[in-house]
Amino acid sequence: MTTEITSFRGGGNRLPASHLIGIASIVLFFLGLGQTRKAILEGDVMLGGLFPVHQKGLKTKCGAIFKDRGIQRLEAMLFAVEKINSDPTLLEKIKLGAIILDTCSSDSYALNQSLEFIRASINTVDATTFECADGSAPTMKFTTKAITGVVGGSYSEVSLQVANLLRLFKIPQISPASTGTSLSDKTRYDFFARTVPPDTFQAIALVDLVQSFNWSYVSLVSSEGQYGDSGMTAFQKEARSRNICIAVNEKVPHSATEEVFDSIYQNLLQKISARGVVLFTRAEDAAGVLRAAMRSRKHVFTWVASDGWGKQEKLVEDLERAAEGAITVELASTEIAEFNDYMKNLTPATNIRNPWFEEYWESVFSCTLPENVKPNSNSSVVVCSPNLRLDESVGYNQESKVQFVVDAVYAFAHALDKVWRDLCEPKGEAHCHEMRTLDGATLYLDYILNVSFTAEIDARKERQLKREQRLKKILEASTPSSIYEEKFEPIIREQRWKKYIGG
């Protein structure tokens, strides 16, 4: 059976590749993406990475640094690439590399950043096909290697935008965190895969929790965008099937102000008999609702939250009173001990490949690196000691999606390893011509979606539920044989925030 992949949907004919290249080149010229900050690890085969290194800015494109979700996930990709390169059983004669960019937690900003990957692809030309007038070999103006695939994004709305761009150039994408249900539509996102399940499973788990408390009347707050919308829709559908009514249904708009959060909380108080409130929100929106609760000084609700809140303890700093008793859902993942060792050995002096690490370091330790101290700074500036190291005493804990980032990188590595064994090994070559010119659709359909390796997640006992999951294949496919077991169930993690002490 032959499957034809069309670059454009809805039209009769495919736009010529030369037109695509011309359009992209013009866009890239005006955007001036040559100045893009990036983390680079050189290799024979290059993967792109997209992570929310910074939060979305209110008046600027990028806000404060995302210490856990951003930097840890970025470093997890670099960690995985290095592990693969040191593994003699994977890509034995080929070095894997990476180019990682910051999405600033914004879909539009991420789309602009992703054009850097397209530029790398359209600037890759086989110099052997050209000859100068004097017979000498031409000198290439651009030497950037093509991007074979992309790991990211994190937010579902980011992945939606990026997937629409990458599919035009047949660049496969694997997300380690985007759970929006729309991304399961392979007729629209035909080069997208992920190492996490869609929100449908999470919504079922949240309804299970509500039902376990014998609640039949709850309120719902969701974030505007793909993540919140798909989660809200799935929760409502499941709740209706179990005769659970929604008292208040509030949506948090993008860039919501304190006044907006206060209004949402006041609306929840109008239906105070619905003591359970389900949050299907991004982390910053969950924190916004909690801050509104603190300002109202009326702490009457029990929060049941999705993985947007998950197990992020930093989210509830100074908000413990409002968060007390909350129960959150988190996808089951295994903590990688070796990654903890890797992070704890990083310093600004040794980690020069990450252009955002100095900013991260200064944020974690609330100090300024000696080289960043301005000449006329006053004596109150705290200078970072060279003896500082990351550990639990400064709030370091492995972020919950680190494992899924590592899984995504390994999925590409296993797929590329199979490509090498099929096309290059029989010829006794390393990175052979057939592998370098392999069509992205073939890589995605024939290799990536057929990657299979087992990851076992240890069972955890919780107050409400005990779950166990076994991930048989790590990529979501549109075929009848789902990558997840039919009885896949996400972990439910109960968070008991310490008792508020004070007035």
pLDDT tens track for 67-126 = 888 999 999 999 999 999 999 999 988 999 999 999 999 999 999 999 989 886 665 455
C-alpha span between 310 and 314 (Å, rounded): 11
- Residues 166, 300, single domain; the answer is no
Supply the DSSP symbol for 50.
E
Q: Domain for residue 22, yes or no?
A: no
In a domain, 54, yes or no: yes
- pLDDT tens digits for range 365-404: 999 999 999 887 777 889 999 999 999 999 899 999 999 9
The answer to whether residue 128 is domain-embedded is yes
| CA distances (Å), origin 59, targets 101, 273, 288 | 21, 38, 18
Whether residues 221 and 308 share a domain: the answer is yes
Judgement on whether residues 192 and 44 belong to the same structural domain of the protein: yes
Nearest to 400 by CA among 466, 495, 323: 495
Pair 192, 203 in one domain: no
Task: Tell me: do 74 and 114 sit in the same domain.
Answer: yes
The tally of domains found in the chain comes to 2
Residue 58 inside a domain? The answer is yes
DSSP SS3 for 355: coil
Residue-wise DSSP of 408-426: HHHHHHHHHHHHHHHHTGG
Tell whether 127 is covered by a domain: yes
CA distances from 73 to 51, 81, 100, 239, 458 (A): 7, 13, 11, 33, 22
Range of the domain at 239: 199-328
Q: Please check whether residues 65 and 124 belong to one and the same domain.
A: yes
Please tell me the distance from the alpha carbon of residue 276 to that of residue 315, in angstroms, as a whole number: 20
Tell me: do 62 and 146 sit in the same domain: yes
In a domain? residue 111: yes
Same domain, 208 and 191: no
Let me know whether 85 and 181 are in one domain. Answer: yes
Structure tokens that stand for 41 in this block: 């690890």
Which among 433, 450, 467 is the end of a domain?
Answer: 450
My answer on whether 119 and 258 are in the same domain is no
Q: What CATH number did the domain enclosing 274 receive?
A: 3.40.50.2300
CA 488 to centroid of chain Cα atoms: 21
Same domain, 189 and 248: no
Residue 223 lies inside a defined structural domain of this protein: yes
- If asked whether residues 178 and 44 sit together in one domain, one would say yes
Full pLDDT tens readout for the chain, 503 residues: 333 332 223 334 444 444 444 454 444 444 444 457 999 999 999 999 999 999 988 778 899 998 888 999 999 999 999 999 999 999 988 999 999 999 999 999 999 999 989 886 665 455 555 667 777 766 555 445 789 999 999 999 999 999 999 999 999 999 999 999 899 998 999 999 999 989 888 999 999 999 999 999 999 999 998 899 999 999 999 999 999 999 999 999 988 999 999 999 999 999 999 999 999 999 999 999 999 999 999 989 999 999 999 888 888 888 999 998 899 988 888 899 999 999 999 999 999 999 999 999 999 999 999 999 988 777 788 999 999 999 999 989 999 999 999 999 999 999 999 999 999 999 999 999 999 999 999 999 999 999 876 543 232 222 222 222 222 233 433 322 223 233 333 344 444 433 333 32
Q: Does residue 282 lie in a domain region?
A: yes
